[in-house]
Structure 1
Amino acid sequence: MPAIADRMIYLCTVAANSGDVVQERSVSDLDRASTVKDIAAGQIEDLVQVIECNVVEGTSRDVTSDIARDVMNVWANEAEPLTDWQYVFVEMFVSKQAADSFRRAA
């Protein structure tokens, strides 16, 4: 069995019919950049929470707002209007004021 890497991983909790569950993803995709990219691309839907963990150090913390700001910055850099789900995401995890700063898709 390979050794567990001493690095941060990002677990995404999503809403499901049976209750909140951790989104299944490849271990190689559990880094911060991949997590932000997957959320921004809509590959992770119905997000509830993002937990940053380091198994070796035994640490974890809620980084939902931090990740949401990173996702929001991706969308801002794309300079495209937000879809309804993107607007709700920013409003829920960042702020209504931040969501209102974007143009809305028709």
Structure 2
Amino acid sequence: MRSDWSPSVVPAGVHDTVYLVVDCSSSGCVWREADIAGTDLETVIKDLLAGEYSDPLCVIAFNATENWSRDVTADIAREIQERSDLAYEDIPSWLEDFVHRHVSPEVQLPLRLR
């Protein structure tokens, strides 16, 4: 038996990327519990837009099958901004801080005066 082997922690049949949200409240920040079917990208974005999180801090994506993980918070915030813009709607009030913390405002370059 190999000494570096360990059993998989990935549930059988789960091979996609999983997205988990760190959510904060007055009692502290926690990884939000989620059903396996509710950890895909689209469900997480829909849940954020629906106000399912108190104060989302960050979103982490990981894929145990492919052996990677990364912070996708800025990507999610940009997607929320883009969806709101395309729908000609304001960002939902409960997500304003989240989006503003993670989406850099467009920088307008000053005109050079002679």
1:55 is aligned to 64
1:44 aligns with 2:62: no
Structure 2: runs of 5 or more not aligned: 1-10, 108-114
2:23 is aligned to 14
Moved over 6 A (4+): none
Shift of 1:87: 2.8
Greater helix proportion? 1
Q: Among the aligned pairs, what percent are the same residue?
A: 34
Shift of 1:6: 1.6
Structure 1: runs of 5 or more not aligned: 99-106
TM-score scaled by length of structure 1: 0.77
TM-score scaled by length of structure 2: 0.72
Q: Is the 8 A contact 2:51 2:94 kept in 1?
A: no
Root-mean-square deviation (Å)? 2.1
1:94 aligns with 2:103: yes
Q: Deviations over 1:35-86 (max 9, x none)?
A: 1111122222301110001122231110000011111112112212345433
Matched residues in 2 for 1:85 and 1:5: separation? Answer: 31
Higher radius of gyration, 1 or 2: 2
Provide the secondary structure at the position in 2 that maps to 1:50: strand
> Judging changes above 3 Å, is the alpha-carbon distance between structure 1 residues 22 and 5 closer, same or farther for their aligned structure 2 residues?
same
Matched residues in 2 for 1:38 and 1:28: separation? Answer: 13
